[in-house]
A and B are shown apart, each in its own frame.
Chain A
Amino acid sequence: MDGEELIDALEGRGCKVREAIEGTFMGDAGFYLRMLRKLPQSKCFSRLEAAMATGVVRDVFESAHELKGLYANLGLTPLCALASEITEIARAGHVDGAPGKFEKLGGLHAECLALLA
C-alpha cells in the first residue's frame, strides 16, 4: 500500500491523518509516513497489554498515557480517544471497564498494523 493509499485508508477509519501532517509534521507527508511506519516496532502497545494483563492501575495509567500521546501525534484519532478513555479510567484509580475499551483499542491497533504490513 503506497503512502497516499495508506493515508486514505486511515482517514477512512476516522483518523485525522491529514490534519496531523499539516499540524504536527509541517505538511511533510514523507516525514509522517516514516514515523507511522515505526509504529509496529514501538513497544508502547505491548506495555499497555502487559499492564492490562497484570491489572496494576498505575502501569495501566502510565502506558495508556504514553500511547495516547503517540496516537495523538500520529493523528490516529479513534485510537487516541480509546487510549484517553483508558487513561481516565485508570486516573480514577481503577480499571473497571478498561478491558472492553482495551479490546476495542487492540482491534484498531491491529488494523493499523495490518495496513502498515
Chain B
Amino acid sequence: MSTLVAWALSFGCAVGWGAFVVPGTVFLPTAGPLGTAIGMAIGAFALGVIAQNYRFMACRSKTAGGAFEFAKMAFGDDHGFVAAWFIVITYFAILWANTTAVVFIIRHLCGPLLQFGFTYSVMGYDVWFGEAAFCSATVLLAALLCVARTDLAIRALVALALLAFGGIVATFAMTVAKTPGPVGAMAPYFSSGAPLPLQILAIIALVPWAFVGFEAVSHSSERFAFPSRRVFGVMACALAAGALSYIMLTFIPAMSPPGGFASWTESVAAGSAAHPVPSAAGAEQAIGPLGTALVIAAMTGAIGTTLIGNTLTLSRIMRAMSENGMLPDGIAKRGRNGRPCRAILIVGCVSAVIPFMGRTIISVIVDINSIGAAIAYGYTSAAAFKFARDERRRGAAAAGAAGVVISAIFLTVLLVPSIFDGAMLSTESYLVLGIWGMLGLIHFRRVFANDTEKRFGRSTVVWGALLALIFSAISAWQFEAARDASRSMLEHIRRARESVSGSGMSGEDADRFVAGELKVIEDGVVRKSAIQAALLAASLALMVNLYSTLRRRETEMERRKIEAEETSRAKNAFLANVSHDMRTPLNAIIGFAGLARTDEGLTRERMRDYAAKIEAAGDSLLRFVDDILELRKLESGTYRLRPAPCDVAALMDGVRDLFATQAAARHLDFHVACDGLEHRRVVCDGQLLKRVVSNLTGNAIKYTPPGGRVSVTLDEGGEAEPGFAAYTFTVSDTGIGMSREFASKVFDAFTREEDAASQADGAGLGMSIARNIVEMMGGTIGLETEKGKGSVFTVKVAMPVAGDEGGAPGGDAGIDAGRTSGSTERGGPPVRSVLVAEDNEINREIVGSLLESRGIRYVMAADGSLAVSTLASSAPGTFDAVLMDMRMPVMNGVEATRAIRAMSDPSLSRIPVIALSADAANDADVDASGAGFDGFVSKPVRIDALLEAITEAMRRREASDEANGQMKG
C-alpha cells in the first residue's frame, strides 16, 4: 500500500457527505467563516498532536491496529474492548450516514425516478423502497468489490478521493473567481451569538467528528509499502486536506449565500430547508450549473471513498476484535486474497439494512461519532504517553500527555450540554450513547464469560468509567429533553399569545392553556424518567453481575494459587523427606564399606557383620524406592487393580502365618479371626488387600510393647449393592497409640511421630499406601487411637462376590434366587440373570432396580476388568447376557467385550453382550468397533428397550448356535 492509498483511506474516512452539509448548516451559524477557519486550524493542529501519537504507537505495535490495539498493549484487554466498542459504532455511523446520503445525489441527478414501491415515514423522514434499495445495493456493491477485487477497490478509492478533493478545490476557486470582492462578501466574519472564544471552541469541539480517519491508516499498517514512521506525514496530509476542504466548503456559501441573500447571516436566518446542501446551492449561485455539477462530482467522490474506506477499515477493526475474542471466531477468517472477507461481507450486509430505516435515526447515531473518536484519540495518546515515559522519551511523552488533555477537553465539551448555549449533540444522541454503552456492558459480559485465557476482567476502573459515561449520557439526555420541552412550551405560549392578540385570552382560558402545556411537560418528564431509571438500573445490575462474576473468578484463581503453592510445598517436603530417607541407609552402606576397607585387623566374622549390615541397609533402600514408586503410581491413578477371585479367609490365614513368629518373638498376644463369614470368595486384588492388612498388622506389632495384645479380625456385614459383600477388617493393638495431632495426618506420606520414629525404621509411607489402595478399591480406612493406650484401624470395603461361591442356582451367591424370569412382551427366551458392567454408582443402582423390577437377577461390576473376571470365574450358564457400559475406567466396554470373546470356554465367550452408552447415535460406532457386541441400548435406559435388546440378542445367539450345530451334524 502506497502513501497515496493510505492518504486516500484517511481522507475518505474523514470527508464524506457531511462535509458538504455541516459547514453551511452548523459551522457558519456557529462561528462565521473566519471563526470556522480559525477553529478548524486550531483543531487540525490539535489533531496533529494526536496523529503524532498514532505514529508513535504504530511504530511500536507488532501487528496492524489502531486505538484498540494500542489500548490493549498499554492497559490490557478491558481497555482495548472499550476502545474497540466505540470505534466500531463511530465508523459504522459514518458508513451508514454516507450510504443513506446516496439518495440525495440520485434525487439531484434523476429527480423522483427511484421513488417507487412502498413508502413509509420514520421519525419524519419519508423512505421510498426504490431509493432505499438503491442505497443498499450501492453499499453491498462496495463490499463485494472489496472482497472480489480489492485492488480495483483501492484504485477506485484513490481516484474518488482525488475527485472529492479536486472537486472541492475547483468549486472553491471558481466561486472565488466569480464572486466580486470575495473576502468582503463573507462579512460578517464571525457569528453574532456567543462570545468569539466560545464560537471557536465550539468549532474545535466538532473537529473529532470531522476527522475520523486515523484508524484507517493504522489498521492498514501491515500492508504498508513504506516505513511506519511515515504514518505521521500521511495523516498530516489527510488532516490538512480535510481541514482545507471543510474551510473551503464553509467559505463557498459564505461568499455566495444560497437563496440570493445579501449575506450568509440572512441566508442562515432563512433556514436550511430550501437549501439542504448549502455548499452546492452557493456554488450554483456563484458559478451556475457547472458549480452544482462540480459539487455533485466532489460529493460522489467523497461518499464513494467513505463507502470503500470505511468498509475496509471496519472489516479490519472487526477482524482484530474477533482475533482477540471480542467477536465470534469466524469473522477473523481471511479469504484467499488475505482480506477479512467475512468481516467485509458482514459490514456490507448490516449496512444494507440501514437505508430502510431512514436518515433521521442515522443522524442521531452519527452525532456520537465525536465521542467515539475522542475516546479513541484519548486511548492512543494515553498509550503513547505510557510507552514514551517508560522509554524516557520526553518529547513523545509530552505529545502523549497533550493528546490526553485534548481528548479530555473534547469529551467534556461534548458530554456536558450546558457549556455552550446548545448542546454539541442532539438530544436523542445522548440516549443512543447511553444505550450503546449499556450494550457494551452486555457484550462484555458475554466476552468475559467465554474468556478461557482470563484476559478480561483485570481492570474494574474501566468498567466504572464506562458506567459513569452511561450515567452522564443518560443524565445529559434527560437534561436536554427537559430543556427542549421548556423551549417548546415557551414557543407554544408565544404562539398562543400571538393568536389571541387583539381579542385577548380570558384568565380561565390562560390557566387552562398553561395547565395543558405543563401536563405535556410533566408527562414527558415522567416517561423519560422511567426510561432513565430503567437504563440506569439495568446498567447497575449488569455491573453488579459483572463484578460478582469477577470476584468469583478471582476467588477461584486465588484458590488455585494456594493449591499450587501447597503442591509446591508438598513437593519440596517430599524431596526433603526422600533425600533424608535415602541418606540414612546410604550412609550406613558407605560407612560400613569404608570400615571394611580401612579396618587393618579385619576378621572374617567382622567382615560378615559389615556385609550383613550393608545388605540390610541396601534392602531398606530398595524397599523405600519400591514404596516411593508404588505410592507415586497410586496417587497418580496409574496403578491398576488386578481383580481375581480371592478367598478372604485364606487371606487372613496368610496374615496370621506371616506375623505369628514376629509377634511371638515380641511376646505379644496375637489373635487373628474371621468367623461367621457368609461369603469367603470375592473378586478383588488379593495381593493388594493382603498388603493393606499386613501393613496395619506389621505396624501394630512394631508399636506394641512386649506383653501387649494385637488383634486382627474380619467381619462380613453392612450395606452392600446386590452381588457384593461388605467386609470390615479391624486391626487393634494395646500399643503406644498416637497423639491426636499425629493421628490426623497418619495417612499422609512421610509422617512419623517423633518418639515412635526412634523405635522403628521405615519412611512413613506404609499408611499412605494403605489408604490409597483402600480408596482405590472403593473402601474407607479409619483410625481410633489414644496416646499410651493403643490404636484401632478399621478398613471397610465392599467386594463383588465371586461366581464360584456356592449357594445360588447357576452357581453365583451374589445373585438373588427365586425371582420370576423376565421377558419382553414379544416373548422370546426368558432372561433370568444378567451381568452388568457400569462404572457410575447411580446408573448401576438404576439399572439394578429396573432389572429387579422384572425379576431378573444380576451381578454388578464397576468396570470392564471386573466384569471379565466375574464372568471368567462364573459357572457356565450363570448369566444369560452381559450389559456393558461403553465408557469405563480400567477397561472400557470394547476392551472388555473383546476379552470376553477371547475366552477359551465357548459357553462364556459366546454370551450375548449388549452395549450401554449415552451416545444415542452410537450404535454405528458399536458395530464398527468390531468387538462383537450383540446389541445397543442408549441412555436414558428404558427397561422395555433393555429387555428387547437382551432377548433379541439371545434369540439371535440361539439361532446361530442351532445353525452351527446342524452344520456340524
B-binding residues in A (CB < 8 A): 20, 23-26, 31, 35, 38-39, 41-42, 44, 62, 65-66, 68-70, 72-75, 84, 87, 97, 99-100, 103
When the two chains form their complex, are residues B840 and A42 in contact, meaning their CB atoms are under 8 A apart? yes
When the two chains form their complex, are residues B840 and A70 in contact, meaning their CB atoms are under 8 A apart? yes
**In the A-B complex, the 3 residue pairs with the closest CB atoms:** A69-B918, A68-B918, A69-B939
Closest Cβ of chain B to A73, distance in Å, is 5
When the two chains form their complex, are residues B943 and A26 in contact, meaning their CB atoms are under 8 A apart? yes
When the two chains form their complex, are residues A65 and B846 in contact, meaning their CB atoms are under 8 A apart? no
B484 within 8 A of A: no
When the two chains form their complex, are residues B850 and A72 in contact, meaning their CB atoms are under 8 A apart? no
B residues less than 8 Å from A87 (CB atoms): 918-919
Closest to B549 in A: A103
Closest Cβ of chain A to B952, distance in Å, is 20
When the two chains form their complex, are residues A62 and B887 in contact, meaning their CB atoms are under 8 A apart? yes
**CA distance in complex: A69, B918 (Å):** 5
- Decide yes or no: A65 and B849 within 8 Å by CB, A70-B842, A100-B452 being known contacts: no
B30 within 8 A of A: no
Closest Cβ of chain A to B599, distance in Å, is 55
Residues of B in contact with A, size category: 20 to 34
- Restricting to B206-256, which residues have a CB under 8 Å from any CB of A? none
A-binding residues in B (CB < 8 A): 449-450, 452, 839-843, 845-846, 849-850, 853, 885, 887, 889, 916-919, 939-943
When the two chains form their complex, are residues A23 and B845 in contact, meaning their CB atoms are under 8 A apart? no
B residues less than 8 Å from A69 (CB atoms): 840, 843, 885, 887, 916-918, 939
**Is chain A's binding surface mostly helix, strand, loop or mixed?**
helix
Closest Cβ of chain A to B374, distance in Å, is 34
When the two chains form their complex, are residues B918 and A39 in contact, meaning their CB atoms are under 8 A apart? no
- Decide yes or no: A100 and B887 within 8 Å by CB, A44-B840, A70-B843 being known contacts: no
A-B interface pairs (CB < 8 A), number: 69
Which of A23, A26, A38, A62 sits near B841, CB closer than 8 Å?
A38
B residues less than 8 Å from A70 (CB atoms): 840, 842-843
Q: Can you spell out 8 A-B residue pairs with CB atoms less than 8 angstroms apart? A: A24-B846, A24-B942, A44-B840, A66-B840, A69-B840, A72-B918, A73-B939, A100-B450
Closest to B849 in A: A31
Q: Which of B843, B853, B889 has the most CB of A within 10 A?
A: B843
Closest to B943 in A: A26
B residues less than 8 Å from A65 (CB atoms): 887, 918-919
When the two chains form their complex, are residues A42 and B853 in contact, meaning their CB atoms are under 8 A apart? no
Closest Cβ of chain B to A102, distance in Å, is 10
Closest Cβ of chain A to B947, distance in Å, is 12
**CA distance in complex: A103, B450 (Å):** 9
**CA distance in complex: A41, B844 (Å):** 14
B residues less than 8 Å from A74 (CB atoms): 842, 940
Closest Cβ of chain B to A114, distance in Å, is 15
Closest to A96 in B: B452
Which of A26, A62, A75 sits near B850, CB closer than 8 Å?
A26
Closest to B889 in A: A62
**CA distance in complex: A25, B943 (Å):** 8
Closest to B853 in A: A26
When the two chains form their complex, are residues B845 and A38 in contact, meaning their CB atoms are under 8 A apart? yes
B residues less than 8 Å from A20 (CB atoms): 940
Which of B449, B885, B941 sits near A24, CB closer than 8 Å?
B941
**CA distance in complex: A84, B941 (Å):** 16
**CA distance in complex: A66, B941 (Å):** 14
Closest Cβ of chain A to B56, distance in Å, is 36
A residues less than 8 Å from B943 (CB atoms): 24, 26
**CA distance in complex: A103, B849 (Å):** 33
